[in-house]
Amino acid sequence: MKETITIKLLKTIQRGYEALSHEAKLMMSDFILTQRCREGGFINKQGEQDLYYTTFGSLLQYVFGIKYNTGELRSYLDTIDADKLDLIHYAAYMRCRLLASVSDSKFLGALTALTSQKKIRNEESFEVWPNNDKNAPYSRFIWHSLLEDTNNSEQNTWLSKEYSVEGGGYSNMKGQDAASVNATAAALMVKGQTEGYDKTSQDVLYLLNSQLPSGGFKDSPQTHMPDLLSTATALFTLRCYDTQPRYSAQEFVEAHWLDNGGFGATILDSSSDVEYLFYGLLALGTL
């Protein structure tokens, strides 16, 4: 069976975890535990239990081998009306449902769960999409990942040329003159999974040339500074396309590691959450 995007992500994060020192693993494990709620979920930056953050926390627990009560996670998920969720939260909900079916904290158990057959809502049932556009690259990425995670057939997974930027790259808005790193990474992952990973694509070249000498990536030319999310997604996508980045990102990623064990979104951030720990490990796993 072809590896899903989520499996590729998890295996890359596992590589990042394995490269850590024993002390770093303990610090990050302790941080993950501080982000967990008694009710079974994980908190957001405001300290509130959050479904979106719960999917990151749940995935990290398997990478770190942290034991947790799947019954508590199922109880938390039972309080959520999945039919009323937008696409992003519904994809998080389904991923958590799959992970909650695993009886232990073994990494291979999570990989198996994330290819289980599950019936899902149809595409037309979602009233809210990212960027209010169901056809934008990020929306197609989330939808395609959801199909893969639940072992459903690939239907309506396509990318409109209206989001392609002349000279390479994609935008999440139609008819733009400048591409976005994150939109391009999303588009390339969908194209890679459905059409094959063609490293000669001008979109891959756009992503490659977007890296700064510091090792980081900005989402767009208008963005003031490089950030960890854009850097992690770009490095991960380049790795999937078997393309070596122009500069080493080791020092850039390590500069975002905080004393509490998490990672900051930018060099100016002093707080973290499980989402950015996920991105930090993802970036480390590509190096």
Model pLDDT for residues 192-216, shown as the tens digit of each residue: 999 999 999 999 999 999 999 999 9
pLDDT of residue 104: 62
Residue 45 near residue 274 (C-beta atoms within 8 A): no
Residue 128, pLDDT above cutoff 90 = no
Q: At what angle do helices 70-78 and 87-100 cross, to 10 degrees?
A: 150
Asked if pLDDT for residue 1 goes beyond 70, the answer is no
Residue 157's pLDDT band (cuts 50, 70, 90): low
Exposure pattern of 68-82 as b/e (b: 16+ CB <10 Å)? bebebbeebbeebee
Residue 222 is predicted with a pLDDT of 85
Any residues with CB less than 8 A from the CB of 61 and at least 6 apart, and which?
Answer: 32, 68, 105
**Residue 103: pLDDT band by 50, 70, 90 thresholds?**
low
Task: Give the pLDDT band of residue 148 (cuts 50, 70, 90).
Answer: very high
pTM for the model: 0.94
The answer to whether residue 237 scores a pLDDT higher than 70 is yes
Please tell me the predicted confidence (pLDDT) of residue 105. 60
The pLDDT tens digits of the residues spanning 214-235 come to 999 999 988 889 999 999 999 9
User: Rounded to an integer, what distance in angstroms lies between the CA atom of residue 23 and that of residue 161?
Assistant: 47
Using the CB atoms, write b or e for 112-147: b if 16+ within 10 Å. ebbbeeeebeebeebeebbeebbbbbbbbbbbbbbb
pLDDT of residue 102: 76
- Which one is predicted more confidently, 198 or 40? 198
Task: Flag the least confident range among 105-119, 133-147, 168-182, 223-237.
Answer: 105-119
Confidence (pLDDT) at 67: 85
User: Please, what's the b/e burial string for 177-209 (b: 16 or more CB within 10 A of its CB; e: otherwise)?
Assistant: eebbbbbbbbbbbbbbbeeebeeebebbebbbe
One-letter amino acid at 90 equals Y
Q: Is the pLDDT of residue 111 over 90?
A: no
pLDDT score for 101 = 84
Give me the chain's average pLDDT, please.
92
- Position with higher pLDDT, 259 vs 39: 259
Per-residue confidence (pLDDT) for residue 154, from 0 to 100: 66
Percentage of residues in the chain with pLDDT exceeding 70? 96
Q: Which residues are CB-neighbours of 79 under 8 A, at least 6 positions away?
A: none
Mean pLDDT, residues 241-269 taken together: 96
Residue 161, pLDDT score: 86
Quote the radius of gyration of the chain (alpha carbons, Å).
18
